[in-house]
Each structure stands twice: as C-alpha cells, then as structure tokens.
C-alpha cells in the first residue's frame, strides 16, 4: 500500500517497494494524485492494483498521534480524539483543513509522514 502525492512523491505504507513503483507507473494518467493505492500479488510477477483519490493536508510536525478524529456538532461543541483517546487539546490545523465546508462534521486524519496527513471529512 502506498500514497502518491501531487508533487510526484510516493509514500510507502507497507509492502514491497518494487511493487509500489510498478503500480505508480501503471496508474500514471489513470488517476490524478493524490491517491492511496493497494497492490496484491496474483501469481509470479503479476500484480493487481486498486486506487482511490484522497485528500492530503499538512499539519504541524509536532502534532501528536497517528490517527485523529475531530467532531464538531451543530451546537458548536468540539471533541478531539488522538489515537482513539479523548483529549482536551485542540488542533487548529484540523479545523482549518475542514474550512467552511460544513457547520457540523467529523474529520478523520491518518498520518502519512511527519507533516502530511490523509484526511476525510463527513458532514453530520
């Protein structure tokens, strides 16, 4: 599994690097980055590749945790979980990433590297 970024970089999440490079070449022109791709060996050197478009955001390098979930309710209440544990800390960068898309939402973020995060935002 890997992530292809808009600037052409590949971030390997797990799996063989040669499969990542070959999959990225196969997907070139089929799907605009950023995307998350999964490779599965079929037999010998034959691989299957699947990919889905993702959104990537940059957060401060000192952001704690590997997975974040911010919930903002219609009433304006905010709840943040870092690696599944509630925290009273706030991460302004999360709210900025959500922008003005929704009044109430759940934002999930998974760390890709030191500063880059895959995010998903769902309205409530």
Domain residue ranges of the chain, discontinuous segments joined by +: 2-53, 57-123
117 in Cβ contact with 59 (< 8 Å): yes
pTM (2 decimals)? 0.88
Q: For residue 78, list its beta bridge partners.
A: 72
- Six-digit token string for 54: 């993702």
Looking at residue 7, the DSSP 8-state letter turns out to be T
Nearest residue to 106 (alpha-carbon basis) of 95, 92, 117, 116 = 95
Nearest residue to 35 (alpha-carbon basis) of 26, 43, 45, 47 = 26
Question: What pLDDT tens digit does each residue of the chain (124 aa) get?
Answer: 999 999 999 999 987 777 888 899 989 999 999 999 998 888 887 888 999 999 999 999 999 999 999 999 999 899 999 999 999 888 888 999 998 899 999 999 999 999 999 999 999 9
pLDDT of residue 91: 80
Cα–Cα distance for residue pair 115/26, rounded to 1 Å:
27
């Amino acid at each position: 599994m890997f992530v292809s970024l808009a600037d052409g970089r590949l971030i390997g999440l797990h799996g063989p690097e040669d499969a990542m490079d070959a999959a990225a070449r196969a997907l070139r022109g089929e799907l605009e980055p950023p995307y998350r791709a999964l490779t599965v060996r079929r037999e010998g050197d034959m691989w299957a590749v699947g990919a889905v478009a993702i959104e990537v955001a940059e957060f401060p390098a000192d952001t704690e945790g590997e997975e974040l979930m911010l919930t903002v309710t219609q009433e304006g209440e905010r709840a943040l979980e870092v690696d599944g544990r509630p925290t009273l800390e706030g991460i302004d960068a999360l709210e900025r990433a959500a922008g003005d898309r929704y009044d109430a939402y759940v934002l999930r973020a998974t760390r890709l590297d030191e500063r880059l995060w895959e995010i998903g935002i769902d309205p409530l």
